[in-house]
Structure 1
Amino acid sequence: MRIDTHLHLYADPAQGLHDLTAYPIVEYGEKPDVTFAGIAGTIADALATLESEGFDYAAVLGSFELPELPHPPGGADYWPAVPPHAAMRDELVAYNRWLCDVGAQHPRLLPFLAANPAVMTSGEVYAHFAEMFGDHGARGLKLHPIAIRTYPDDPGLAGAYDALEDAGAPVVFHGGPDVRGFGWADPKRIAAVAGERPGLAVIMAHLGGAAWRDVEALAEARPTLRFDLSEIVHWIGAPLAPTAAQVVALVRAIGVERVVLGSDFPWYTPGATAAVVEELPGLSASEAAAIIGENGARLLRLG
């Protein structure tokens, strides 16, 4: 079984193609030979890619950003208890229902919900998620703290985490520094959530991104913390990225059983990412197989 735990979908192909170029990847430094998939990331694109590259399942990771990406008012770290953008609540609910509808229509696509404490209260998101997990087939939560201007420990996310623990479902965090230095997705803050909630399955994406050097100590301190290899393995050799040998050493220090494959489709494809993993020097075939499939199957409770 081969599983991609980090895939994005776009209902509008124009939006997908826009996002591929609108958000340049700068945190690793220059690497001219990085190969991008160059596709829009529609449902049809995803299904065709999974089929052609021999993947059985993919987690479809949602994200609900606000127009103009506002910060919490008044320079506060956290969003207020009364969400200032509650008028967009119905849009967030509709987006999550769309994700679940996609999963219902295409069982190999596993819907991961979006949350945003600028839009819903903790209690509202708990009730919404309980419905999505109970009646609509949701499988997890994706949070991109930079995109939603939200720290992982924002009190407005407590209800989301409670619902995840009730459902036995994981949360995937975008992990890594932001260019403005706010630290929204600082691996230390993500690891703190894992420490505060040992019953919650927390996955840090991108192996911590350009903060990958911090990951070994965090993994040792937080034994329930997991990691995906999305994006970062395509940047091996860039000035601020790890070498292939450093990736292997880090995976082994964390524990191979705590690492899963993610592609960050449509930026990269799962097959291309799996090929990089399989070619990592010194990584055994059984270790690669665990990362590419077995660990994800266990995490997502797939047969």
Structure 2
Amino acid sequence: MTSLHPPADDADVPRYWRELGLPGLVDVHVHFLPDPVQAKVWQYFAQAETHYGAGWPITYALPVDERLAVLDRLGVRAFPTLPYPHKPGMAAWLNEWSAAFARRDPRVLRSATFYPEPEAAGYVAEALAGGTRVFKVHVQVGRFDPRDPLLDEVWAGLEEAGTPVVIHCGSGPLAGEHTGPEPVTGLLERYPRLQLVVAHLGMPEYRDFLELAERYERVHLDTTMFATDFTERLMPFDPADRPRLSALRAKVLLGSDFPSIPYPYAHQLQALHRLGLGEEWLRAVLWENGARLFDLEA
């Protein structure tokens, strides 16, 4: 990768993916939420010094149309909205909102979510029938065990459908009662064909989640905030595990956490570039794996 330079800034991102020979980027970890929910999320990050011991300025705290324009300028050709509930009774409403949002822009991968509640199997089946392409589960925010019996029918249906599920299950940036590799390992023992995408590469339990991706055919990892300066200060990745990450090239997907990131989007790409895993790895992560998972055309 001697001739390829990482993007200097956001304006330079299209040059970067073009030099890699790509038609753009597929980002599997983007959030668009209803305005009241988004405002509460940003309010939480405004108090990040209290929560995390580090500031978390939101780089893209912009109106919806401006955020969509930013992604367009970056060349992000496909992205989800990834809603997630923190209490019962929210998921079905979030799914309806996300379905409507996806209809406004062909780049949006229709997204849905669920929570351990009696209604879950019904609204998840409805979301699948309506064309949902990716689900989001946030174990730490939702404060639930993914093995909750109320979700048995949900997981069985998702395993059969093969629909990807982006799951925030690692203990970073904050540990929860049900975070870490144990609950997800138990879930996969019951449903080994689940198409899980482990958010943030499972930080900080990177090694445990690398192992799950090695063991289970349909387990993927997303790069959200991974290897950035911000994350390396708090939850560093052991360089000794880079060969394993390289070997998992076909199972690693670009994720960013746009818009709620404390640095420019380009920095996520800089962080992946400096891992030194080669241009083939970058092409797979930035486009090919996501395009295959979501059956996208170039």
Normalised-by-shorter TM-score class: 0.7 to 0.9
1:55 partnered with 2:79: no
Equivalence for 1:6: 29
Aligned counterparts of 1:6 and 1:25: Cα–Cα separation in 2: 25
**TM-score, scaled to structure 2:** 0.79
Amino acid in the other structure paired with 2:251: R
Please name the residue that 1:258 is paired with.
251
Q: 2:86 aligns with which of 52, 61, 65?
A: 65
1:140-195 superposed Cα distances (whole Å, 9 cap, x missing partner): 21111111111121111222223323432111111322688654121232233233
* 1:8-47 alignment runs, 5 A limit: 8-12=31-35, 14-23=39-48, 37-40=58-61, 42-47=63-68
Deviation at 1:41, TM superposition (A): 5.9
1:179-194 counterparts in 2 under 5 A? Answer: 182-194=176-188
Give the equivalent residue in structure 2 for 1:108: 107
Q: Which amino acid aligns with 2:121?
A: Y
For residues 188-239 of structure 1, the C-alpha deviation after alignment (integer angstroms, 9 at most, x for no partner) is: 3223323322222011111111111323333333333211110122245425
Unaligned runs of 5+ in 1: 67-84
Q: How much has 1:36 moved relative to structure 2?
A: 5.3
TM-aligned CA deviation for residue 92 of structure 1: 3.0
Aligned positions of 1:87-236 closer than 5 A? 88=89, 91-117=90-116, 120-121=117-118, 124-135=119-130, 137-177=131-171, 182-234=176-228, 235=230
Q: CA deviation at 1:96?
A: 0.8
Assess, with a 3 A threshold, how the Cα gap between structure 1 residues 283 and 114 changes in structure 2: closer, same or farther.
same
Cα distance change on mapping 1:261 and 1:92 into 2, 3 Å:
same
Task: Tell me the number of residue pairs that the alignment of Structure 1 and Structure 2 aligns.
Answer: 269
Whole-Å separation in 2 of the counterparts to 1:223 and 1:271: 31
Instruction: State the SS of the aligned residue for 2:103.
Output: helix
8 Å CA contact 2:84–2:113 kept in 1: the answer is yes
For residues 46 and 218 of structure 2, what CA distance do their matches in structure 1 show?
35
- Name the CA distance, whole Å, in 2 between partners of 1:185 and 1:273: 24
Q: CA deviation at 1:42?
A: 4.7
Query: Structure 2: where are the runs of 5+ without partners?
Result: 1-23
Deviation at 1:275, TM superposition (A): 3.0
Inter-partner Cα distance in structure 1 for 2:206 and 2:26? 23
Residue of structure 2 aligned with 1:279, choices 269, 274, 288: 274
- The answer to whether structure 1 residue 238 and structure 2 residue 263 are counterparts is no
SS in 1 for 2:28: strand
CA contact (8 A) 2:226 2:268 kept: no
**How has the CA–CA distance of structure 1 residues 201 and 264 changed in structure 2, closer, same or farther, with 3 Å as cutoff?**
same
Percent identity, aligned pairs only, is 26
Q: Which string of whole-angstrom CA distances, capped at 9 and with x for unpartnered residues, describes residues 79-136 of structure 1?
A: xxxxxx5xx3xx432221000110111121113212111xx31xx322212222222x
Q: Is the contact between residue 177 and residue 183 of structure 1 (CA under 8 Å) also seen in structure 2?
A: no
In structure 2, C-alpha distance between the alignment counterparts of 1:263 and 1:294, rounded to whole Å: 16
Q: Which residue of 2 aligns with 1:69?
A: none
Deviations 1:279-303 (A, max 9, x none): 32x2111210100111011112222
Q: Which one-letter code corresponds to 1:191 in the other structure?
A: T
Aligned residues of 1:203 and 1:225 also touching (Cα < 8 A):
yes
1:80 aligned partner: none
